[in-house]
Amino acid sequence: MDKLQAMHTFVRVVEAGSFSAVAKEQGSTQSAISKQVAALERELGAKLLARTTRSLALTDEGARYFETARRLVAEIAEAEAVLGTGRQALKGTLRVAASVGFGRLRLMPVVQSFLAANPDVQIDMRLSDGFIDLVERGIDVAVRIGELPDSSFVARRVGHSVREVLAHRRYLRGLPKGMKPPAHPLDLAEHNCIVYTGTGMRRSWHFVAGVGANEPVGTEHKVPVSGTLQTDSSEVVRAAILGGMGVCYTPTWLFEEEIARGDVVKLLPDWSILSPIHLVSPQERRHSAKVQAFMDHVTSAFAAT
Protein backbone atom coordinates (compact mmCIF):
# COMPACT_ATOMS: atom_id res chain seq x y z
CA MET A 1 0.00 0.00 0.00
CA ASP A 2 1.22 3.51 -0.85
CA LYS A 3 0.54 5.03 2.56
CA LEU A 4 0.97 8.64 1.42
CA GLN A 5 -1.43 8.16 -1.49
CA ALA A 6 -3.93 6.43 0.80
CA MET A 7 -3.62 9.30 3.30
CA HIS A 8 -4.22 11.83 0.51
CA THR A 9 -7.23 9.85 -0.71
CA PHE A 10 -8.68 9.69 2.81
CA VAL A 11 -8.30 13.47 3.22
CA ARG A 12 -10.04 14.15 -0.07
CA VAL A 13 -12.88 11.71 0.72
CA VAL A 14 -13.57 13.57 3.95
CA GLU A 15 -13.37 16.98 2.23
CA ALA A 16 -15.56 15.93 -0.70
CA GLY A 17 -17.96 13.87 1.38
CA SER A 18 -18.05 10.83 -0.89
CA PHE A 19 -15.95 8.13 -2.52
CA SER A 20 -17.52 8.77 -5.93
CA ALA A 21 -16.47 12.42 -6.03
CA VAL A 22 -12.84 11.50 -5.32
CA ALA A 23 -12.97 8.64 -7.82
CA LYS A 24 -14.02 11.12 -10.51
CA GLU A 25 -11.32 13.54 -9.39
CA GLN A 26 -8.58 10.88 -9.60
CA GLY A 27 -9.88 9.15 -12.72
CA SER A 28 -10.45 5.98 -10.70
CA THR A 29 -13.42 3.93 -9.48
CA GLN A 30 -15.46 4.21 -6.31
CA SER A 31 -14.43 0.67 -5.38
CA ALA A 32 -10.72 1.46 -5.75
CA ILE A 33 -11.03 4.58 -3.60
CA SER A 34 -12.91 2.65 -0.91
CA LYS A 35 -10.22 -0.06 -0.92
CA GLN A 36 -7.48 2.55 -0.41
CA VAL A 37 -9.22 3.92 2.68
CA ALA A 38 -9.92 0.40 3.99
CA ALA A 39 -6.23 -0.49 3.57
CA LEU A 40 -5.24 2.63 5.49
CA GLU A 41 -7.63 1.68 8.30
CA ARG A 42 -6.07 -1.80 8.49
CA GLU A 43 -2.59 -0.29 8.55
CA LEU A 44 -3.54 2.05 11.39
CA GLY A 45 -5.64 -0.49 13.24
CA ALA A 46 -8.45 2.04 13.61
CA LYS A 47 -11.81 2.71 12.00
CA LEU A 48 -11.64 6.16 10.37
CA LEU A 49 -15.01 6.38 8.63
CA ALA A 50 -18.48 5.19 9.58
CA ARG A 51 -20.13 4.17 6.30
CA THR A 52 -23.83 3.91 5.50
CA THR A 53 -25.53 3.46 2.14
CA ARG A 54 -26.15 7.20 1.93
CA SER A 55 -23.46 8.99 3.89
CA LEU A 56 -19.99 9.01 5.42
CA ALA A 57 -19.06 10.25 8.87
CA LEU A 58 -15.75 10.48 10.70
CA THR A 59 -15.31 8.34 13.76
CA ASP A 60 -13.66 9.94 16.79
CA GLU A 61 -10.34 8.35 15.76
CA GLY A 62 -10.93 9.46 12.17
CA ALA A 63 -11.56 13.07 13.20
CA ARG A 64 -8.28 13.20 15.13
CA TYR A 65 -6.35 11.54 12.31
CA PHE A 66 -7.93 13.75 9.62
CA GLU A 67 -6.60 17.05 11.02
CA THR A 68 -3.05 15.71 11.19
CA ALA A 69 -3.25 13.93 7.85
CA ARG A 70 -4.55 17.01 6.04
CA ARG A 71 -1.68 19.12 7.33
CA LEU A 72 0.94 16.47 6.50
CA VAL A 73 -0.39 15.94 2.96
CA ALA A 74 -0.17 19.68 2.26
CA GLU A 75 3.32 19.96 3.76
CA ILE A 76 4.65 16.94 1.86
CA ALA A 77 3.29 18.31 -1.42
CA GLU A 78 5.16 21.54 -0.84
CA ALA A 79 8.34 19.72 0.23
CA GLU A 80 8.31 17.71 -3.00
CA ALA A 81 8.26 20.96 -4.93
CA VAL A 82 11.68 21.98 -3.64
CA LEU A 83 14.35 21.91 -6.33
CA GLY A 84 17.87 20.69 -5.74
CA THR A 85 19.04 24.29 -5.58
CA GLY A 86 16.80 24.93 -2.60
CA ARG A 87 14.33 27.06 -4.55
CA GLN A 88 10.70 26.11 -4.41
CA ALA A 89 9.44 24.98 -7.79
CA LEU A 90 5.88 25.81 -8.64
CA LYS A 91 4.43 22.52 -9.78
CA GLY A 92 1.30 20.46 -9.35
CA THR A 93 -2.40 21.29 -9.40
CA LEU A 94 -3.96 24.49 -8.06
CA ARG A 95 -7.74 24.49 -7.60
CA VAL A 96 -9.24 27.94 -8.19
CA ALA A 97 -12.90 28.92 -7.75
CA ALA A 98 -14.82 31.97 -8.99
CA SER A 99 -18.21 32.99 -10.30
CA VAL A 100 -18.89 32.08 -13.93
CA GLY A 101 -18.86 35.58 -15.40
CA PHE A 102 -15.91 36.85 -13.37
CA GLY A 103 -13.94 33.70 -14.05
CA ARG A 104 -14.51 33.89 -17.79
CA LEU A 105 -14.06 37.63 -18.29
CA ARG A 106 -11.64 38.79 -15.61
CA LEU A 107 -9.81 35.79 -14.17
CA MET A 108 -9.06 33.74 -17.29
CA PRO A 109 -6.55 36.24 -18.76
CA VAL A 110 -4.71 36.24 -15.42
CA VAL A 111 -4.76 32.44 -15.25
CA GLN A 112 -3.37 32.30 -18.77
CA SER A 113 -0.43 34.57 -17.94
CA PHE A 114 0.23 32.70 -14.68
CA LEU A 115 0.39 29.35 -16.48
CA ALA A 116 2.64 30.80 -19.16
CA ALA A 117 5.07 31.86 -16.42
CA ASN A 118 4.75 28.57 -14.51
CA PRO A 119 4.56 25.71 -17.05
CA ASP A 120 4.76 22.97 -14.39
CA VAL A 121 1.53 24.12 -12.72
CA GLN A 122 -1.93 22.89 -13.70
CA ILE A 123 -4.99 24.92 -12.72
CA ASP A 124 -8.34 23.28 -12.08
CA MET A 125 -10.90 26.10 -12.41
CA ARG A 126 -14.25 25.61 -10.67
CA LEU A 127 -16.73 28.22 -11.92
CA SER A 128 -20.12 28.53 -10.25
CA ASP A 129 -22.50 31.36 -9.43
CA GLY A 130 -23.60 29.45 -6.34
CA PHE A 131 -21.84 29.04 -3.00
CA ILE A 132 -18.78 26.80 -3.03
CA ASP A 133 -17.54 25.18 0.18
CA LEU A 134 -13.78 25.62 -0.19
CA VAL A 135 -12.82 22.85 2.22
CA GLU A 136 -15.33 20.32 0.90
CA ARG A 137 -14.30 20.96 -2.71
CA GLY A 138 -10.57 21.07 -1.94
CA ILE A 139 -10.24 24.63 -3.27
CA ASP A 140 -6.88 26.37 -2.87
CA VAL A 141 -7.91 29.91 -3.82
CA ALA A 142 -11.33 31.45 -4.44
CA VAL A 143 -12.46 34.87 -5.63
CA ARG A 144 -15.16 36.37 -3.44
CA ILE A 145 -16.93 39.63 -4.30
CA GLY A 146 -18.55 41.60 -1.48
CA GLU A 147 -17.93 41.99 2.22
CA LEU A 148 -16.60 38.81 3.80
CA PRO A 149 -18.28 37.29 6.85
CA ASP A 150 -16.01 36.45 9.76
CA SER A 151 -14.24 33.21 8.96
CA SER A 152 -11.06 31.26 9.45
CA PHE A 153 -10.02 31.78 5.84
CA VAL A 154 -6.96 33.76 4.80
CA ALA A 155 -8.16 36.74 2.74
CA ARG A 156 -6.44 39.33 0.58
CA ARG A 157 -8.22 42.32 -0.95
CA VAL A 158 -7.19 42.72 -4.60
CA GLY A 159 -9.60 45.30 -6.02
CA HIS A 160 -13.22 46.32 -6.22
CA SER A 161 -16.25 45.61 -8.36
CA VAL A 162 -18.54 48.42 -9.53
CA ARG A 163 -22.27 47.64 -9.63
CA GLU A 164 -24.48 49.88 -11.78
CA VAL A 165 -27.87 49.86 -13.48
CA LEU A 166 -27.29 48.93 -17.12
CA ALA A 167 -29.40 48.47 -20.22
CA HIS A 168 -28.78 47.84 -23.90
CA ARG A 169 -29.64 50.63 -26.34
CA ARG A 170 -32.07 48.21 -27.97
CA TYR A 171 -34.14 48.16 -24.78
CA LEU A 172 -34.07 51.95 -24.48
CA ARG A 173 -35.11 52.44 -28.11
CA GLY A 174 -38.06 50.13 -27.56
CA LEU A 175 -39.52 51.94 -24.54
CA PRO A 176 -43.23 52.82 -24.90
CA LYS A 177 -44.05 56.35 -25.99
CA GLY A 178 -43.77 58.76 -23.08
CA MET A 179 -41.65 56.38 -20.96
CA LYS A 180 -38.12 57.59 -20.21
CA PRO A 181 -34.95 55.88 -18.98
CA PRO A 182 -34.72 55.96 -15.16
CA ALA A 183 -33.24 59.19 -13.76
CA HIS A 184 -33.65 58.12 -10.13
CA PRO A 185 -33.69 54.66 -8.49
CA LEU A 186 -37.39 54.97 -7.71
CA ASP A 187 -38.08 55.22 -11.46
CA LEU A 188 -37.10 51.54 -11.79
CA ALA A 189 -40.63 50.57 -10.72
CA GLU A 190 -41.74 51.44 -14.27
CA HIS A 191 -39.13 49.24 -15.96
CA ASN A 192 -38.68 45.55 -16.68
CA CYS A 193 -35.93 44.59 -14.22
CA ILE A 194 -33.79 41.51 -14.80
CA VAL A 195 -33.41 40.16 -11.28
CA TYR A 196 -30.25 38.29 -10.32
CA THR A 197 -31.09 35.93 -7.45
CA GLY A 198 -27.52 35.06 -6.54
CA THR A 199 -27.24 37.94 -4.04
CA GLY A 200 -29.28 39.28 -1.16
CA MET A 201 -30.78 41.92 -3.49
CA ARG A 202 -33.22 39.60 -5.25
CA ARG A 203 -36.37 41.45 -4.06
CA SER A 204 -35.00 44.99 -3.80
CA TRP A 205 -31.95 46.88 -5.04
CA HIS A 206 -29.95 48.98 -2.58
CA PHE A 207 -28.64 52.34 -3.78
CA VAL A 208 -26.45 55.00 -2.13
CA ALA A 209 -26.26 58.52 -3.59
CA GLY A 210 -22.82 59.57 -4.77
CA VAL A 211 -21.41 62.87 -5.95
CA GLY A 212 -23.60 64.16 -8.76
CA ALA A 213 -26.76 62.40 -7.62
CA ASN A 214 -29.97 64.41 -7.38
CA GLU A 215 -30.04 63.83 -3.60
CA PRO A 216 -27.49 64.45 -0.81
CA VAL A 217 -24.43 62.18 -0.87
CA GLY A 218 -25.04 59.09 1.24
CA THR A 219 -28.82 59.06 0.81
CA GLU A 220 -29.98 55.44 0.64
CA HIS A 221 -32.89 53.82 -1.16
CA LYS A 222 -34.03 50.21 -1.19
CA VAL A 223 -36.14 49.89 -4.31
CA PRO A 224 -38.48 46.91 -4.83
CA VAL A 225 -37.92 45.49 -8.31
CA SER A 226 -39.70 43.01 -10.55
CA GLY A 227 -39.68 41.87 -14.14
CA THR A 228 -40.27 39.03 -16.52
CA LEU A 229 -36.96 37.26 -15.85
CA GLN A 230 -35.04 36.27 -12.75
CA THR A 231 -31.99 34.03 -12.70
CA ASP A 232 -29.12 32.79 -10.55
CA SER A 233 -26.75 32.86 -13.54
CA SER A 234 -24.55 35.83 -14.45
CA GLU A 235 -24.34 34.47 -17.99
CA VAL A 236 -28.14 34.60 -18.31
CA VAL A 237 -28.09 38.19 -17.02
CA ARG A 238 -25.53 39.05 -19.67
CA ALA A 239 -27.54 37.40 -22.45
CA ALA A 240 -30.75 39.13 -21.30
CA ILE A 241 -29.15 42.57 -21.26
CA LEU A 242 -27.56 42.08 -24.68
CA GLY A 243 -30.91 40.88 -25.95
CA GLY A 244 -32.54 44.16 -24.91
CA MET A 245 -34.88 42.46 -22.44
CA GLY A 246 -34.65 45.00 -19.63
CA VAL A 247 -32.43 46.72 -17.07
CA CYS A 248 -30.25 45.10 -14.43
CA TYR A 249 -28.21 46.20 -11.42
CA THR A 250 -25.04 44.33 -12.21
CA PRO A 251 -21.23 44.52 -12.10
CA THR A 252 -19.88 46.62 -14.95
CA TRP A 253 -17.05 44.15 -15.65
CA LEU A 254 -19.67 41.83 -17.11
CA PHE A 255 -20.10 44.31 -20.00
CA GLU A 256 -16.79 46.18 -20.28
CA GLU A 257 -16.47 45.88 -24.07
CA GLU A 258 -20.13 46.68 -24.72
CA ILE A 259 -19.99 49.74 -22.45
CA ALA A 260 -16.84 50.97 -24.21
CA ARG A 261 -18.58 50.62 -27.59
CA GLY A 262 -21.69 52.40 -26.32
CA ASP A 263 -23.98 49.41 -26.88
CA VAL A 264 -24.70 49.05 -23.16
CA VAL A 265 -25.54 52.22 -21.24
CA LYS A 266 -25.04 53.20 -17.59
CA LEU A 267 -28.40 54.55 -16.48
CA LEU A 268 -27.77 55.74 -12.90
CA PRO A 269 -23.99 56.33 -12.74
CA ASP A 270 -24.22 58.52 -9.63
CA TRP A 271 -25.91 55.71 -7.70
CA SER A 272 -23.29 52.98 -8.18
CA ILE A 273 -21.95 50.72 -5.42
CA LEU A 274 -18.39 49.49 -4.91
CA SER A 275 -17.89 45.96 -3.58
CA PRO A 276 -14.48 44.63 -2.52
CA ILE A 277 -12.89 41.73 -4.38
CA HIS A 278 -10.98 39.28 -2.17
CA LEU A 279 -8.89 36.21 -2.75
CA VAL A 280 -9.59 33.70 0.01
CA SER A 281 -7.81 30.50 0.91
CA PRO A 282 -8.26 27.88 3.65
CA GLN A 283 -5.85 28.24 6.57
CA GLU A 284 -4.13 24.95 5.77
CA ARG A 285 -3.15 26.30 2.32
CA ARG A 286 -1.57 29.51 3.67
CA HIS A 287 2.03 28.18 3.44
CA SER A 288 1.61 26.82 -0.08
CA ALA A 289 4.10 28.34 -2.50
CA LYS A 290 1.62 27.88 -5.37
CA VAL A 291 -1.14 29.67 -3.48
CA GLN A 292 1.10 32.58 -2.53
CA ALA A 293 2.50 32.90 -6.05
CA PHE A 294 -0.96 32.83 -7.61
CA MET A 295 -2.29 35.41 -5.16
CA ASP A 296 0.70 37.67 -5.87
CA HIS A 297 0.17 37.29 -9.62
CA VAL A 298 -3.54 38.13 -9.42
CA THR A 299 -2.86 41.10 -7.13
CA SER A 300 -0.28 42.48 -9.55
CA ALA A 301 -2.50 41.92 -12.59
CA PHE A 302 -5.55 43.58 -11.04
CA ALA A 303 -3.47 46.52 -9.78
CA ALA A 304 -2.34 47.16 -13.36
CA THR A 305 -5.93 47.45 -14.70
Residue 107 has pLDDT above 50, yes or no: yes
Q: Are residues 36 and 58 in the same domain?
A: yes
What's the mean pLDDT when you consider all of the chain? 88
Q: Are residues 139 and 204 in the same domain?
A: no
Is the Cβ–Cβ distance between 6 and 34 less than 8 Å?
no
The dihedrals phi and psi of 60, each to the nearest 5 degrees, come to -60, -45
Whole-angstrom distance, CA of residue 190 vs CA of residue 180: 9
Burial class (CB in 10 A: 0-12, 13-18, 19+), 53: exposed
Residue 87 maps to a domain? no
Q: Are residues 165 and 269 in the same domain?
A: yes
- CATH code, domain carrying 11: 1.10.10.10
Question: Between residues 75 and 221, which one has the greater pLDDT?
Answer: 221
- Model pLDDT, residue 157: 94
Split at pLDDT 50, 70, 90, the class of 200 is: low
Mean local confidence (pLDDT), 23-35: 89
Split at pLDDT 50, 70, 90, the class of 205 is: very high
The total number of structural domains that make up the chain: 3
For the ranges 73-82, 112-121, 143-152, 267-276, the lowest mean pLDDT is seen at 73-82
Residue 85 maps to a domain? no
Whole-angstrom distance, CA of residue 164 vs CA of residue 207: 9
Residue 86 maps to a domain? no
Is the Cβ–Cβ distance between 152 and 284 less than 8 Å?
no
- Model pLDDT, residue 85: 40
Residue 101 has pLDDT above 70, yes or no: yes
In sequence order, the 6+-apart residues with CB closer than 8 A to the CB of 67 are none
Q: Are residues 262 and 165 in the same domain?
A: yes
Residue 258 has pLDDT above 70, yes or no: yes
In sequence order, the 6+-apart residues with CB closer than 8 A to the CB of 263 are 168, 169, 242
The dihedrals phi and psi of 253, each to the nearest 5 degrees, come to -65, -15
- Model pLDDT, residue 81: 56
Residue where a domain stops, chosen among 52, 79, 106: 79
Q: Are residues 199 and 224 in the same domain?
A: yes
Q: Are residues 124 and 193 in the same domain?
A: no
Residue 132 has pLDDT above 90, yes or no: no
- Model pLDDT, residue 284: 75
Mean local confidence (pLDDT), 95-111: 94
Question: Between residues 82 and 257, which one has the greater pLDDT?
Answer: 257
- CATH code, domain carrying 154: 3.40.190.10
Mean local confidence (pLDDT), 111-139: 89
- Note the helical H segments in 147-288: 169-173, 234-242, 256-261
Residue ranges making up the domain that contains 21: 3-79
